[in-house]
Chain A
Amino acid sequence: MDEEYDVIVLGTGLTECILSGLLSVEGKKVLHMDRNDYYGGESASLNLTQFFRKFRPNQSPPTDLGRDRDYAVDLIPKFIIASGELVKILVHTDVLRYLEFKQIAGSFVYKNGKISKVPSTEVEAARSPLMGLFEKYRAKKFFEFLQGWKEEDPATHQGLNLDKDSMRKVYQHFGLEPGTQDFIGHALALYLDDDYINKPARSTYERIVLYTTSMARWGKSPYIYPLYGLGELPQSFARLSAIYGGTYMLDKPIDEIVLNKDGSFEGVRSGEETVRAKMVIGDPSYFGAGKEAEGGKLRVVEDGKVVRAICLLKHPIPGTEESDSVQIIIPQNQVNRRNDIYIAMVSSTHKVCADNIYVAIVSTIVETSAPENEIQPGLHLLGSIYDKFVTVSPIYTPVADGKQDHIYITRSYDATSHFETVVEDVFDVFKRVMGKDLELKKRESDVEQ
């Protein structure tokens, strides 16, 4: 540990591991450490032993759950949007070679007390109970408008300006009912709340296009998922970093962020050892996590909380056509909330649990002092729950951009159902650290024959 590094990275969550991989490929000398003895930090997937050690240290896993090694239980519920930015990074870094993916089998939305499939074909749309006959006609006009939109051809704009007009105005233009708006804004554009309605329609348009192109890519849902759990993602990027010279140390307590006289980053102390580097990148848990850190400085602030209930089921979720994996969105208006409730479920098809076990995570942004009550509408949809593990996690945001003190802090994993905001954070930190935009170039094939 007595060498000097360009970058020390703390925490092996996905954000940090992607950065580590990208920086190593750029030729930076990276030391990557984690206090845990497993990869993934908050975005890890744990086997049963690790899982119980984390949630119920005094209880060993019940034997009827099956073999320890069959499990990779995600701590955060997210899926990968098939045409999204994470897939681009996976392709361009060639990290794909370490991973296998399967589709998420279905996407459902909650309306008037029951769940319906988000239609993926015109036939499904025609049969869907989500809209009445006339509303279907209006919605059809709306989607034709989106598909027909050509930037340079005002005739396709129907008098609307995506950069100036609000989404509310677009909805009004097509006369869409509130229930349809919920469906479009939350199940297709994947907004967590209704703030988007009063903002320019452009980003909603882009998000719907992302959803539909992702849907078109594989057919059943817009999402894909890595076999053996989300924890495979950070591990794959860590390997990318390692083959480009990155050094990895797990199970390493981080006791102090050492600063120099002017308060800039100097090194990291673990026990008696101090290792120096030009800069540090790390997740918020290494920088005070909302409390004052070294030098009495507040480095990250809490920006809300997410409640997540990891539920083990012995049956698929009722009403989902026995799907082996699903996303269910409960739009906030449907249950008188400000934020949507999400359910993400995977199973042994994805090699994350024993046969006949289904792992569903119900989550939402906390609005009250009784977070567990807030996810009741979601828990209620699951049928009988074999076991349930609830966490309430603060979402931390760094207070500074790191340019001053060379301390670059990543964001906590938010309540969105996908990794797009994680990738935004990666691009953002990369730019601040390297002083240039991340250019995704496909690596030359490096399999030597």
Chain B
Amino acid sequence: MSKQFQFKLVLLGESAVGKSSLVLRFVKDQFDDYRESTIGAAFLTQTVTLEDQTTVKFEIWDTAGQERYKSLAPMYYRNANCAVVVYDITQTASLEKAKTWIRELQRQADPSIVIALCGNKLDLSARRQVTEEEASKYADEEGLLWSETSAKTGEGVNAIFNAIAKKLPLTAPPSARGARAAAPGTTRQNVDLNRQPTARGGEACNC
């Protein structure tokens, strides 16, 4: 039987660099030029199958716009196993912002987190402001995965999620952290509030 792993993946990056579009392309293979942010979706999931038939299920958290005014809660990247930090290759400032997020992750997130730096809007490369050399050199120095993508055409999108899946530690048992929905057995120390009250509810006496 093939093994399945589940991981929490968080998206980070400045507003309007295409974070949600990137995920929409990856999860539903869709793109919409004038897309409003998703209302009511806590997170999306998508599965990647590796060559050895191991499947990696991503629980993908979008910022829900909370990054816009520097108001992303620490809860957001708590227990994240991987992060895709997105910048827009046509906006130099967006790479600087991405670097800020990466520093924040290095400071606050789990030290084993896999971080991918992703230069989006490759379809607009005629207006490119961030060179491949500049971004890849930075990624190398920081030990990050790096690639360029176009959520619009789909170029490079699956590749970056596949690369993350390969880099995640698949030797350990499925992570109980972050992806708690996948591994109920590993969180039995904790209380599950979706569970129905036990039958002895009515008869217990504390005297």
Contact = CB atoms under 8 A, between A and B. Distances in A.
B148 to A, nearest CB: 26
B41 A446 contact: yes
Contacts of A248: 65-66, 68-69, 71
A331 B166 CA distance: 58
20 contacts: A39-B74, A82-B191, A119-B207, A139-B207, A216-B200, A228-B78, A238-B66, A239-B64, A239-B75, A242-B65, A247-B65, A248-B66, A248-B69, A248-B71, A249-B69, A250-B70, A251-B71, A447-B41, A447-B43, A447-B44
A143 B205 contact: yes
B170 interface: no
A118 B66 CA distance: 43
B69 A125 contact: no
Contact of A235 (B40, B74, B107, B201): B74
Contacts of A213: 197, 201-202, 204
A198 interface: no
Contacts of B190: 100-102, 227
Interface in B191-207: 191, 193-194, 197-198, 200-207
A60 interface: no
| B71, B78, B201: most-surrounded residue (chain A CB, <10 A) | B71
The 4 residue pairs across chains A and B that have the minimum distance between CB atoms: A216-B204, A242-B64, A248-B71, A235-B73
Nearest to A187: B206
Interface residues of B, number: 43
A249 B71 contact: yes
Given A247-B65, A250-B71, A448-B44, A143 B206 contact: yes
A103 B191 CA distance: 7
Interface string B25-67: 0010000000001111111110000000000000000011110
A353 B34 CA distance: 45
B108 interface: yes
Contact of B205 (A90, A122, A243): A122
A449 B181 CA distance: 14
Contacts, number: 132
| A217, A242, A247: most-surrounded residue (chain B CB, <10 A) | A242
A100 B188 CA distance: 11
B206 A118 contact: yes
Interface in B176-193: 180-181, 187, 189-191, 193
Interface stretch (A91-99, A299-307, A394-402, A411-419): A91-99
B76 interface: yes
Nearest to B69: A249
Contact of B193 (A96, A447, A449): A96
Contacts of A188: 206
Interface string A201-234: 0000000000111011110000010011000100
A87 interface: yes
Contacts of B198: 216-217
A245 interface: yes
A111 to B, nearest CB: 15
Contacts of B206: 118-120, 125, 143, 188, 211-212, 215
Nearest to A233: B75
A43 interface: no
Given A235-B74, A239-B76, A90 B69 contact: no
Interface in B69-99: 69-71, 73-76, 78
Interface in A226-279: 227-228, 232, 235-236, 238-239, 242-245, 247-252
Contacts of A236: 75
A29 B8 CA distance: 29
A69 B108 contact: yes
B203 A100 contact: no
Interface of B: 27, 37-45, 63-66, 68-71, 73-76, 78, 107-108, 180-181, 187, 189-191, 193-194, 197-198, 200-207
B39 A243 contact: yes
A238 B73 contact: yes
B204 A215 contact: yes
A84 to B, nearest CB: 11
Given A82-B191, A143-B206, A239-B66, 5 more contacts: A211-B206, A224-B193, A236-B75, A243-B42, A447-B44
A136 interface: yes
A65 B70 CA distance: 29
A215 B206 CA distance: 8
A147 interface: yes
Contacts of A238: 66, 73
B205 A147 contact: yes
Interface in A58-74: 69
Given A97-B181, A243-B40, A216 B197 contact: yes
A363 interface: no
Nearest to B65: A242
Contacts of B39: 243-245
A297 interface: no
Contact of A217 (B37, B180, B201): B201
A212 B204 contact: yes
A103 B190 CA distance: 7
Nearest to B59: A447
A83 interface: yes
A53 interface: no
A171 interface: no
A127 interface: no
A449 B71 CA distance: 28
A142 interface: yes
A87 B193 contact: yes
Contacts of A119: 206-207
Nearest to B75: A235
| B27, B37, B75, B107: most-surrounded residue (chain A CB, <10 A) | B75
B42 A91 contact: no
